[in-house]
Structure 1
Amino acid sequence: MKSASQFQLKQSNSFNVASITPSLYQPASYADLDDLAEVLNQPFYILGEGSNTLFVEDETPVIIRPGFKGVDIEETCDGYRVRVGAAENWHQLVIRCVEQGIYGLENLALIPGSVGAAPVQNIGAYGVEFADYCQEVEWFEFSSKSVKTLSRQDCQFGYRDSVFKGALYNQGLIISVTLIFPKNWQAKLSYHGLDVLPEDVSALDVMKQVIAIRESKLPDPKVLPNAGSFFKNPVVSPEQHRLLAQEYHDMPSYPQADKSVKLAAGWLIEQAGLKGFMLNGAAVHDKQALVLVNKGCASGKGISSLAKHVQTCVLDKFGIKLQPEVRLIAARGEVELDEFEQ
């Protein structure tokens, strides 16, 4: 198994913050997985492409970066079955599927990160979630040193959530995912920006539109380091939504199947007067308030301090406590934003 000591992670996270791991392990075969036992008696973190991770200290735990690659496509009578290695790039998978006439993921184009991270976060955008197409996840269980196959139901998907962030947190790692796509595809165009497209639009044109929208709103991490949406869109009760809507008539809202209401975190942050706000070398992006950016010299602690300030301001104004979508990693492992002072 490939490994390295005192490995610098600045190029391995999209916030471009400097942090060093004492050991980096990169399992890429089933045999490599058996060798991980010696790693698991100390704090560790499973890292994909680092696009949803903020290292908040100068040192991280041991890093495990899965290296499983490969895309296998099987056509059936009514659809396609696609098995993808955890280390494959998500956006490249979307492009490949659309180009090969396999439709469904086009609304999830340009989401950064690896395929293995997609089920952990249950990534989603423009009315589509990873869970919509997941059939199963191949998962290596540390305790038994065995490979398990988890069904979609086993994964317990929720809004930006899964069993991998709950009961199975740090109990194993994802090797591959298997997705199912029906041939009777229909474009999902309900979200603003896609609703201008004709009903008979092609999946390729939907993907192009999604890419154009995301590029217009979100800064390129290679130019302005960031991790995309820093906070989750909050979900509130119908009663809380009704009270807020009475005061804020133009507040965007999205009713959910269980009668709760999802609000736009970016709108809340902007209304709190924080768009463009800078602190400790980090800033709320001046075009999309949901994105926090590293202006070039911010530390992980500095960015987390800005996030805490944003959280406090929104709570004071709206009575809503925003929760990070980005994972905060200290030397002892994953930590909560509440552990940081402004």
Structure 2
Amino acid sequence: MFLEKNVPLQPYNTFGIAAKAQALVRVRSEADLLAVLADPQLATLPRQVLGGGSNIVLTGDVKALVLKMEVSGIRLSGETDKHWFVEAGAGVDWHALVAWTLDKGYPGLENMALIPGTVGASPVQNIGAYGVELQDRFDSLDAMDMFTGEMFSLNAAQCGFSYRDSVFKHASGGPEALGLAGRAVILRVRFALPKRWKPELGYLDLERKMAETGIRTPDARQIFDWVVAIRRAKLPDPQVIGNAGSFFKNPSVSPEQCADIIARDPKVVHYPMPDGSIKLAAGWLIDACGWKGKTVGHAGVYEKQALVLVNRGTDEHPCTGGEVMTLAKAIQTSVYERFGIRLEPEPVVI
């Protein structure tokens, strides 16, 4: 274990917000976490796990001990008649994993291509895109209890997945409510990729690609290429314009609520869900309120996709996390006043 002090975090968060970690440890194995627990000064500090920094908004310097997850490695860990099982370290870049699985002939993750972040963060957020969520391809994970130092594994049911949610985002509520926020650190994740693969094509953008290309039965590689092209056309590259990807969750409403909105705004983008609810496109709601391209301070709404907030700051006048959250709250107010819907942010605010 190597402890670093006063570490600039601007390179480690995709929004590019300037902040520092008072103390940071790079975690490349279980031994690094055990060393933290064995150190009398570090063991009692609050902790903040940091993966790719693609889903956080820093509102100031981080006083907690930052655990920078850098566990590497991808491998085929097993297979059955129905699945290939692929294991990846928590520090592996998510898109790199998706590309690796396709290169090896293991389809199933292609709809989630180009999602920023690391493998270790993927179960926390239950990431998803274009009709596929992590829980649809998840097998199990290995994590460490940062109170006891014990390793443990969880299957999908034990992770409590729901839309952009899991047990890793909730603190324990007692013996009947399992919450692992602030307690568990994910080290490895395993995915069950189907041998009887079928394409997931139920989203409008993919339907448009089929119409444009005339390809009605795309393979996994074709879907991967389409998703990459769609995302690059809509979303800014964090290396060029700082951002945290989709800033708000797509809200779900009842069919009656949706019908009421359609009566007032017939063009509202909506998708029926298996449970009978209707998912609305948060980006459309924000755009309808006139926010696309607008700026508050040094934080702005991306001109090509209203769901994305971006860093408009400069070296002389950097964007702050406070400005980002001021803009986010103003957007939430506008959407609620017009549609009666409360948008929830996706990133973790630190």
Bucket of the pairwise TM-score, normalised by the shorter protein: over 0.9
More moved, 34-43 vs 105-114: 34-43
* Residues in 2 aligned to 1:246 and 1:211: alpha-carbon distance in whole angstroms: 34
* Residues in 2 aligned to 1:76 and 1:258: alpha-carbon distance in whole angstroms: 30
3-state SS in 2 of match to 1:4: strand
3-state SS in 2 of match to 1:250: coil
User: Is 2:272 the partner of 1:260?
Assistant: no
* TM-score, normalised relative to structure 2: 0.91
User: Is 2:192 the partner of 1:180?
Assistant: yes
Contact 1:19–1:60, Cα closer than 8 Å, also in 2: no
Letter in 1 for 2:152: K
Which residue number corresponds to residue 332 of structure 1?
none
* Residues in 2 aligned to 1:175 and 1:58: alpha-carbon distance in whole angstroms: 25
Q: Tell me the alpha carbon deviations over residues 59-118 of structure 1, each in whole angstroms, 9 at most, x when there is no partner.
A: 443211122111120344333111111000100000010111100000000000000000
Unaligned runs of 5+ in 2: 171-178
Q: Structure 1 residue 298: deviation in Å? A: 1.1
* Residues in 1 aligned to 2:85 and 2:60: alpha-carbon distance in whole angstroms: 41
More moved, 107-116 vs 26-35: 26-35
**44, 47, 69: which one aligns with 1:44:** 47
Q: Structure 1 residue 239: deviation in Å? A: 2.3
Which residue number corresponds to residue 337 of structure 1?
none
* TM-score, normalised relative to structure 1: 0.93
Q: Structure 1 residue 238: deviation in Å? A: 2.3
**134, 137, 144: which one aligns with 1:140:** 144
Letter in 2 for 1:206: I
Q: Tell me the alpha carbon deviations over residues 32-74 of structure 1, each in whole angstroms, 9 at most, x when there is no partner.
A: 2212225353332111010111101144432111221111203
Q: Tell me the alpha carbon deviations over residues 136-193 of structure 1, each in whole angstroms, 9 at most, x when there is no partner.
A: 1111112221111101100010000011112111111001011111211111111112
* Residues in 1 aligned to 2:227 and 2:81: alpha-carbon distance in whole angstroms: 29
* Residues in 1 aligned to 2:24 and 2:259: alpha-carbon distance in whole angstroms: 49
Contact 1:20–1:59, Cα closer than 8 Å, also in 2: yes
Which residue number corresponds to residue 173 of structure 2?
none
More moved, 267-276 vs 29-38: 29-38
3-state SS in 1 of match to 2:119: coil
Which residue number corresponds to residue 336 of structure 1?
none
User: Is 2:90 the partner of 1:86?
Assistant: yes
* Residues in 2 aligned to 1:60 and 1:9: alpha-carbon distance in whole angstroms: 12
Which residue number corresponds to residue 253 of structure 2?
236
User: Is 2:327 the partner of 1:306?
Assistant: yes
Q: Tell me the alpha carbon deviations over residues 190-219 of structure 1, each in whole angstroms, 9 at most, x when there is no partner.
A: 111212433421111110000000000001
* Residues in 2 aligned to 1:11 and 1:50: alpha-carbon distance in whole angstroms: 9
- Map 1:147-186; keep pairs closer than 5 Å: 147-166=151-170, 167-186=179-198
Contact 2:23–2:63, Cα closer than 8 Å, also in 1: no
Unaligned runs of 5+ in 1: 330-342
Q: Tell me the alpha carbon deviations over residues 219-243 of structure 1, each in whole angstroms, 9 at most, x when there is no partner.
A: 1111111011001011112222221
**294, 297, 302: which one aligns with 1:280:** 297
* Residues in 2 aligned to 1:304 and 1:25: alpha-carbon distance in whole angstroms: 28
Which residue number corresponds to residue 344 of structure 2?
323
CA-atom RMSD in angstroms: 1.3
Which residue number corresponds to residue 175 of structure 2?
none
Which residue number corresponds to residue 338 of structure 1?
none
Contact 2:73–2:89, Cα closer than 8 Å, also in 1: yes
Alignment length, in residue pairs?
329
* Residues in 1 aligned to 2:61 and 2:70: alpha-carbon distance in whole angstroms: 25
